Amino acid sequence: MHQFQILQPWIPHILTAIKKEIKNEHLPSAPAFHRTYFGSRPLNRLTTEELFQAYEKELSTGNQELCEWVISRWVFKHGDLYEHFAKRLSELNPNFEEIRQITEAQAEYILDGAAQAFGPINLYLFSILNGVVFPEVILTRLKEQADAAQKASACTAAKAQCVQQQIDERFMREALKEAKKAYAKDEVPVGAVLVHAGEIIARGHNQVELLQDATAHAEMLCITSAASAIGNWRLEEMTLYTTLEPCAMCAGALLASRVQRVVWAAPDLRLGANGSWVDLFALKHPMHKVSITGHVLEEEAAALMKSFFQEKRERAVVD
């Protein structure tokens, strides 16, 4: 059976390990592959999910050249594993590449301590990808250990995601408090807070009408306040929570100020710069990349905006 047929459920894990090599080596040198799966779209506009889907599909067709490239890059990335196997195998036979069969006892010796050193998942993948001739009972055990490790990892990731979601919602509620302050001042209800190490270091809400300044968006005021508070324009390792998808102006300011992450609530269909109108955050930046999470407490933020503009329309009719 082909290696990638055996490892079908593990292909995303394999590709994740060589994601940089895929983007920097394989895709630029494979124009036919690029055209087949992505047309004329530039590399910097392709998402990781799209890349993995294309490579997984192509590997499933049995493209031998691509299979060999993926295997070689993955094994190269795990040189420590290769050295471990080469050392133990050479003790059995100096010409270990000629070994065609390994007993269970020999396999146990080769594997002793390997799962603890390299992890059960990588150990199993290496055994298959590098064609190690373990007895079937050993390969079955390695697969069971890898499956158990993957399930445990998925549970841990799910718990971490749940915790992060709770954190995001907590700080977004603080941003919504700022948005309500703007609402009370007859400003478009957008609010923002900047968070560092779990603490809010700056707050801001829309003040365009009050200041008669088109740049007085909640995010811009929050960035200025934070820089003043810490005495540094670089807002590294900080997260900005905003109730509305940032516009192009705010997106530029977030990139320039080195904000690490942005979390927004409601999309801005007219001016949103995270995909609703344009997607500046998707473009490859020469110095900085901002992590984005959208649609956090979207319904609450959108309801606030809807209520605000509905009241404006009703007052306009009365007037």
| Angle at which helices 48-60 and 64-77 cross, to 10° | 120
Instruction: Answer yes or no: is pLDDT of 223 > 50.
Output: yes
- pLDDT score for 239: 97
Return d(Cα 172, Cα 192) in angstroms, integer: 8
The CA distance from 13 to 53, in Å, is: 12
Residues in the chain: 319
State which H helix or E strand residue 317 sits in.
Answer: helix 298-318
Confidence grade of residue 158 (pLDDT, cut at 50, 70, 90): confident
State residue 224's pLDDT score: 97
**Partners of 203 in the β-ladder:** 193
In 46-197, DSSP assigns E strands to 191-196
* DSSP labels, 148-180: HHHHHHHHHHHHHHHHHHHHHHHHHHHHHHHHH
The rounded distance, in Å, linking the Cα atoms of 198 and 167 is: 9
- Enter the tokens of residue 255: 């990139």
pLDDT of residue 180: 97
Per-residue pLDDT reduced to its tens digit, 270-304? 999 999 999 998 887 777 889 999 999 999 999 99
Distance CA 129, CA 119 (A): 16
| Alpha-carbon gap, residue 253 to 238, rounded angstroms | 14
> Is pLDDT at 2 greater than 80 in this prediction?
no
Query: Can you give the pLDDT at residue 54?
Result: 94
Which tens digit of pLDDT belongs to each residue from 233-275? 999 999 999 999 999 999 999 999 999 999 999 999 999 999 9
- Reduced 3-state DSSP string for 4-73: HHHCHHHHHHHHHHCHHHHHHHHHHHCHHHHHHHHCCCCHHHCCHHHHHHHHHHHHHCCCHHHHHHHHHH
Which one of 146-160, 191-205, 287-301 scores highest in mean pLDDT?
191-205
Element spanning 255, H or E: helix 248-256
Mean pLDDT of the region 175-201: 97
Quick one: what percent of the chain has pLDDT higher than 70?
98
d(CA 58, CA 302): 41
Options 21, 178, 187, 219, the catalytic residue: 219
Helix (H) or strand (E) holding 250: helix 248-256
pLDDT in tens, 8-53: 788 888 999 999 999 999 999 999 999 999 998 888 778 888 899 9
pLDDT band with cut points at 50, 70 and 90 for residue 3: low
92: pLDDT confidence band, cut at 50, 70 and 90?
Answer: confident
Is residue 219 annotated as part of the catalytic site, yes or no?
Answer: yes
* pLDDT for the residue numbered 259: 96
Cα of 218 vs its chain's centroid, Å: 26
The secondary structure element, H or E, covering residue 306 is helix 298-318
